[in-house]
Amino acid sequence: MAQAQRPASAYIPLDDPAATIADALVVRGALPSLSALERPYRAHDVRVAVEAAMADSARARLVPSRWLGEVLRAAQRHDPAGAASDSTLHVSAELVPFVTAQSTGRRELMLADTAKGGAYPGADVRFALQSPAFVGVSRLRLDRAMRADPEFVGKSDRVIAARVEDAYLAARWRWAALDVGRVARNWGPAPLHGLQLGHYADSYDHLQLVLGVDRLHLTTIAARLDDRRIAPDTVAQRWFAAHRLAGRWRALEMAVAEAVVYGGPARGFDLMLANPFGFYDLAQYDEHKSLNVSYAVDVALRTKAHGTFAAQFLADDFQVDRCAVNCKEPPSFGGTLSVEGMPVPLPASAAAFGSYTRVDNLTYRTILPWERWESLGLGLARGQSDYDELRAGVELAPPYGGPLRIYGAFRRQGEGDFHAEFPLPIQYAKTPEIFAGVVERVRRVGAQWSTSGRLSFSGDVGWQSTSNADHVPGRTRSGFEGRVKLSLTPALGFSRTVSD
């Protein structure tokens, strides 16, 4: 951008239905200024991108106009200051009540167990302070559905559970941006979870520094994770760090990233592992630091007439040193291939989509339990390991609301689990690279729909059939599994400006 300072902006949260619609706009080519590999989107950037699309008749024809309108209104709600002057402070607050109806408490519907279904009320309370120099956001979630979530580690024995979803301070200048606090992030092809950094885990406090501009930038993240008790009187501290170089050239977007989980008893913050220009893996060997290092490569190609093609490859662990008997670990890789927004000759602005993902058995874990790729037991990237999944379908533009995605999915889930102990060296030869134990097979036909507005909706419903359910040979389970959420956005709210 030409101005000396880019205005600070709040993010559109990843669980906002408007973010899902924005993903559809990005992969269909309507918002080329937004990344296809980095989320969440800044509300100001979305606002600028949508206004540019509305002014460009060629781009506006790529997508339904109401999708652009819904996303623009959501961006304005999260970026109320707009083009306010430097002397203006914008204050806003809102209450968004919602109700969630679900057939299962599990987050991953492909692994649904039909337990803890029902309807659960909740509400988000959001407060924001915004000026052109900084923005501060806090979002408190009160939600009875958390009490039914087997992976939620907070207090669940009360009438209603609660947690802080967002709480961050963000500042932005011409060549740099700094965020401090918690907000869910994702690196990888939209709309999928990233293989190295995803939003399966609940949001956690971290620091993010971005150097550069949209076309070429270096991002660094440093976070303090939860402690791990390894003995009655011994606690291991845990830390997460990542840096990522991303660039765009015409329709091509690429990124390479290195990330690490480290820690141990009495081990504190390591400044070298927060250095944006350092190399974590060399520190592991040259400076004798114990780390769980992973590498990722992301690629996205946006075509004019055939949609967006994207891929992500994760190298979590692989053997590079020579070794004797019983020391060669099975490799730990992950990969995703996807296509989104491919036009097909069907009505309702139809576009095909598909993806294939594979995550190996030992991915996200090491021999040291405090180096597992998780926060409070939830995966920092994907929520499970030892599986592959194929998904394909068609995205339609119904007469009302956002994209309707009708899909079929097939998943093979082994018994490998990154929460489990790492195998002993004597077990390496018998440890499969993928699909340990009895493999569960899940087939699902479903539909996803999102709409953003005063009455917002997001849902994923379908019928699925599971063989070798719960990894028991011959056990089958089938039935309706789904989750829908209806929100009043907002039920109450105020917005004021304060001048100096």
Cα Dmax for the chain? 72
The answer to whether 331 and 223 are in contact (CB under 8 A) is no
The full set of domains in the chain, from first to last, is: 17-499 (2.40.160.130)
Q: What is the pLDDT of residue 188?
A: 96
Q: Tell me: the pLDDT tens digits for 177-204?
A: 999 999 999 999 999 999 999 999 999 9
Mean pLDDT lowest among 200-214, 311-325, 449-463: 311-325
- Give pLDDT, residue 255: 98
DSSP letters along 1-52, please?
--SSSPPP--B--TTSHHHHHHHHHHHTTS-TTS-SSEESPBHHHHHHHHHH
Using the predicted structure, report yes or no on whether residue 3 has a pLDDT greater than 70. Answer: no
CA distance 341 to 344: 9
AA letter at 403: P
Look at the pTM and tell me if it is higher than 0.85.
yes
pLDDT of 10 higher than 70: yes
Give residue 242's Cα distance to chain centre: 15
Give me the pLDDT at residue 498, please.
87
Residue 324, pLDDT above cutoff 70? no
Q: What are the tens digits of pLDDT across the range 227-236?
A: 999 888 899 9
pLDDT in tens, 443-453: 999 999 999 99
Cα–Cα dist 440/449, whole Å: 27
Find the range with the poorest average confidence among 56-60, 258-262, 295-299, 375-379. 56-60
